[in-house]
Amino acid sequence: MADQEQHTSTEGADPERALTESPDLQVGARERGVDAEASQRPGVPMESEVAPAEGAPERIVHQTSVERHFRRAGLDDLTAVYGTAQPPHGVSGQIRRSAYGIPEHRARHWALLMLADRVDVLESRLGRALGSAARSVGAADGTARKLERNALPILLGVVVGTALVTRMARR
């Protein structure tokens, strides 16, 4: 009994020796959480240097476009990737152009961009309506497409042209 009390007592015992003699630590290096050799570690593939995938380009190719794009006043160049699906057009494009001339921290900048979004919706709805009306009358498909894509300038041209013809007819 005295031997058991003396063995379990930690008073006066060497802490290093107690750790190495503990039955919990009498297992292999792998079970103790100590790093195994590199080939046996589960994370070794992630630790290696990443090689480029087969067929990957050696350098990043920046997007190029002939369309006009707006950018923030604080940027010298466009970002590497930018949207070209719907370049600015019509009255909404003019509103966007004026919005990008105003610094981003001004509320006018954002208000004009939101207004341009609303005007763009109206332009597309008007264009769709005029395009379908032109098709129902039997206009050429190209004319209907032009009406759909840029309705306001064409409509403005028709109004101005009609006014000029009416004025010249009165003389």
Structural domains of the chain, count = 1
* Across 53-62, average pLDDT: 77
- List pLDDT tens digits, range 71-127: 666 666 666 666 656 677 788 888 988 888 888 899 999 999 999 999 888 888 887
pLDDT at 108: 94
- List pLDDT tens digits, range 127-164: 778 777 776 776 666 766 666 666 666 667 777 888 88
Handedness of CA 146, 147, 149, 151 (dihedral sign): positive
DSSP sequence for 104-169: TTSHHHHHHHHHHHHHHHHHHHHHHHHHHHHHHHT--HHHHHHHHHSHHHHHHHHHHHHHHHHHHH
More confident residue, 82 or 9: 82
115 in any annotated domain = yes
Q: What angle in degrees, to the nearest 10, is found between the helix axes of 151-170 and 90-99?
A: 110
pLDDT at residue 16 is higher than 80: no
98 in any annotated domain = yes
136 in any annotated domain = yes
* Across 3-32, average pLDDT: 54
**CB atoms < 10 A from the CB of 110, how many?**
13
pLDDT at 19: 53
pLDDT at residue 34 is higher than 70: no
105 in any annotated domain = yes
pLDDT classification of 63: cutoffs 50, 70, 90: low
42 in any annotated domain = no
Domain containing residue 151: 90-170
DSSP 94: H
* Across 40-48, average pLDDT: 65
141 in any annotated domain = yes
pLDDT at 104: 86
Q: Compute the residue count for the chain.
A: 171
pLDDT at 112: 93
130 in any annotated domain = yes
81 in any annotated domain = no
Q: How far is CA 155 from each of CA 127, 148, 149, 151, rounded to the nearest angstrom?
A: 10, 11, 12, 6
Q: How far is CA 109 from each of CA 72, 74, 149, 161, 171, rounded to the nearest angstrom?
A: 10, 14, 26, 34, 47
Q: CA 18 to CA 12: how far, in whole Å?
A: 11
